[in-house]
Structure 1
Amino acid sequence: MPNRSDTKVITPALLRDWALPVPSGGKDARGTVLVVGGSRFTPGAVLLAGVAALRAGAGVLQLATAESTAAALSIQVPEALVVGLPETSAGAVAGRSGDRLSDLVAEADVVAVGPGLNDIDETLRLLHVVCDAAPSDTALVLDAYALGALSHEPGLLVGAGRPVVLTPNLTEARHLLGRDVGEDLDAEAAELADRYDAVVSLFGHVADPDGGSWREESGDAGLGTSGSGDVRCGLLAGLLSRGARPAQAACWAAFAHAVSGQRLVPQYGRIGFLARELLAEIPHTIATV
């Protein structure tokens, strides 16, 4: 286990000294994000994550989701290539190997798995499809049901040398830890980073497997709203796509997510804004650090 350094508070000054890459050239220079998620009943999670990735700077967006919702999603997100995936009878995305999904994974710079998925067994199969198809330098962001699936096979990503970021909430962290989550979230994030060989962002507490530890302190109650985690997942994927390293992307995403919420408080109050309203605030928040 690495020696843990003192936890650093994520501030604008810290982020200015850890400036994001600013790609030049066309959209390909800003990378391709593939979001794998959704179900017959939760296509909105994929929409939120995908648009957040674009708002954070991704150049190309691709969405792989339940085939029954793909056409509607392609109209709602005209900037994206949307591919329908096979479904189970209950409307969950089926974790089947297939040339189209494997090809998309192989060509993506970042693959975000989890938003809107709703079947643990099928999600674990999807994770295997993604890991088998993705080149070793392809970054993965695992969220929601993908984290629950990972808890069933905790060694899946260990030692692979792949850039990975996990974004658990407290319930998902409990599954990943196999116990209740303690009050010291810095320590809990660090334990998860060590156990899963990945950068972990847990309620603004960021840890990497090499011993780094950071904390975002400006998040407020309004972020605890439906779809907020999907926005954070996509935001992180977009930052990775434009060239940020995993811990850097996690810290910037934690800050941009929290401060975008703060910017909505004067209009909607502390707990009145919607997750989709965070999306338009992301570029300004990042640009004004």
Structure 2
Amino acid sequence: MTPLDTAWLAAHPLPGPEADTDKNARGRVLVAGGSETVPGALRLTGEAGLRAGAGKLQLATVERVAIPLGVLVPEAAIFPLPANADGELGDDAGAALRGYLDRCDALVLGPGMGAKASAGPVLKAAIAEPRADLSLVLDAAVIAAAADHVADIQAHDGRIVLTPHPGEMARLMRCDEARVAADPAGLAQEAARRFNATVLLKGSETWIACPRKGLLHYPGGGPGLATGGSGDVLAGIIGGLMARGTGPRIAAAWGVWLHGEAGRLLAERVGPLGFLARELPGEIPRLLARPG
């Protein structure tokens, strides 16, 4: 086990933009998910992607909230997706989403999706055709659906990051939560091998496992991060870093550190509890400029 600290980050730097870079060279991140119940989740994920340095942002969500989301996030292109009767992404959303994938370098799938979303069909469509120049973050409701698509995820040759919390990890690995609590590090490594993916088991402390790589451990950014929308921000940071050309393991590690340290900064300024998930992205550029 290796601690995820500033020494590790210094040894594994992010790709830096060239002086003459433009927004296309910095990559395009597409965030897909949301619902009529949680229409603002993609705002959190998308802003985090931009704050992490992605050049372009695209948001794909249920059609009835797409225009208000576009007004809320004027930096983003907005793509509507079909909804079901519960206001969640429906069965036809996967086919529509596939039509947008050639326009992005990284896909973040799942933020804001609830239990009544058609997570399985949407995930199946999104991962059906692996592409060497497309990385993915699978978050929230699609993590449980991933348990039925092991071979399809493996086919992406390590370009996928899974971000479960303990309950999602239990569903992903089809085990009880007691096993997750008893051996989080071992289970994260087992999941990474099973899916041939980077697995980020998040909680009060975070474990990052990747096949054929050492296990990373981050002790946590404080209890204030246990708030609604915090995970959406983390997924967006990782997606933004991957859109810039960062490999999945390094993007996951930097994402965890940036998210946790943003929580520490807000705890010092606002208080240990009570800061909001939407306040986290604003801390990222300063942390990127001067890690540690």
TM-score bracket, shorter-length normalisation: over 0.9
Aligned to 2:195: 196
Question: Is 1:285 the equivalent of 2:287?
Answer: yes
C-alpha deviation, 1:97, in angstroms: 6.0
Question: Is 1:9 the equivalent of 2:3?
Answer: yes
Letter of the aligned partner of 1:66 in structure 2?
A: V
Question: Is 1:208 the equivalent of 2:178?
Answer: no
Given that residues 166 and 181 in structure 2 are in contact (C-alpha distance below 8 angstroms), is that contact kept between their aligned partners in structure 1?
Answer: no
Alpha carbon RMSD of aligned pairs, Å? 1.6
Which of 45, 64, 67 aligns to 1:49? It is 45
Helix, strand or coil: the match of 2:14?
coil
Task: Please say which of residues 10-19 and 60-69 is displaced more in the overlay.
Answer: 10-19
Please give the alpha-carbon distance, in whole angstroms, between the structure 2 residues aligned to 1:252 and 1:119. 29
Letter of the aligned partner of 1:197 in structure 2?
A: N
Deviations 1:30-67 (A, max 9, x none): 11100010011111111100100000010110000000
Which of 20, 23, 43 aligns to 2:14? It is 20
Please give the alpha-carbon distance, in whole angstroms, between the structure 2 residues aligned to 1:120 and 1:265. 34
Question: Is 1:247 the equivalent of 2:249?
Answer: yes
C-alpha deviation, 1:267, in angstroms: 2.6
Aligned to 1:236: 238
C-alpha deviation, 1:268, in angstroms: 2.1
Deviations 1:118-148 (A, max 9, x none): 2466111111221235524310100000101
Please give the alpha-carbon distance, in whole angstroms, between the structure 1 residues aligned to 2:151 and 2:129. 18
Letter of the aligned partner of 1:18 in structure 2?
A: H
C-alpha deviation, 1:159, in angstroms: 3.6
Please give the alpha-carbon distance, in whole angstroms, between the structure 1 residues aligned to 2:94 and 2:221. 40
Q: Structure 2-normalised TM-score? A: 0.92
Please give the alpha-carbon distance, in whole angstroms, between the structure 1 residues aligned to 2:43 and 2:93. 23
Alignment of 1:127-206 (within 5 A): 127-132=123-128, 135-179=131-175, 180=177, 181-203=180-202, 204-206=206-208
Q: Give the length in aligned residue pairs.
A: 283
Q: Structure 1-normalised TM-score? A: 0.93
Please give the alpha-carbon distance, in whole angstroms, between the structure 1 residues aligned to 2:157 and 2:23. 27
Given that residues 120 and 145 in structure 1 are in contact (C-alpha distance below 8 angstroms), is that contact kept between their aligned partners in structure 2?
Answer: no
Task: Please say which of residues 74-83 and 89-98 is displaced more in the overlay.
Answer: 89-98
Task: Please say which of residues 97-106 and 74-83 is displaced more in the overlay.
Answer: 97-106
Which of 61, 77, 82 aligns to 1:81? It is 77
Helix, strand or coil: the match of 1:259?
helix
Task: Please say which of residues 226-235 and 19-28 is displaced more in the overlay.
Answer: 19-28
Please give the alpha-carbon distance, in whole angstroms, between the structure 1 residues aligned to 2:149 and 2:129. 18
Please, which runs of 5 or more residues in structure 2 have no aligned partner?
none
Letter of the aligned partner of 1:21 in structure 2?
A: P
Given that residues 139 and 240 in structure 1 are in contact (C-alpha distance below 8 angstroms), is that contact kept between their aligned partners in structure 2?
Answer: yes
Identity rate, percent:
38
Alignment of 1:58-77 (within 5 A): 58-77=54-73
Please give the alpha-carbon distance, in whole angstroms, between the structure 1 residues aligned to 2:223 and 2:73. 28
Deviations 1:202-247 (A, max 9, x none): 1221010123210112421111110000000000000111111111
Letter of the aligned partner of 1:11 in structure 2?
A: D
CA pair 104-162 structure 1, distance change in 2 beyond 3 A: farther
Please give the alpha-carbon distance, in whole angstroms, between the structure 2 residues aligned to 1:273 and 1:98. 35
Given that residues 131 and 156 in structure 2 are in contact (C-alpha distance below 8 angstroms), is that contact kept between their aligned partners in structure 1?
Answer: no
CA pair 120-159 structure 1, distance change in 2 beyond 3 A: farther
Task: Please say which of residues 210-219 and 54-63 is displaced more in the overlay.
Answer: 210-219
Letter of the aligned partner of 1:31 in structure 2?
A: G
Give 4+ residue runs of structure 1 displaced > 6 Å after superposition.
none
Which of 263, 269, 279 aligns to 2:271? It is 269
Deviations 1:230-278 (A, max 9, x none): 0000000001111111110111011100000000012321111110010
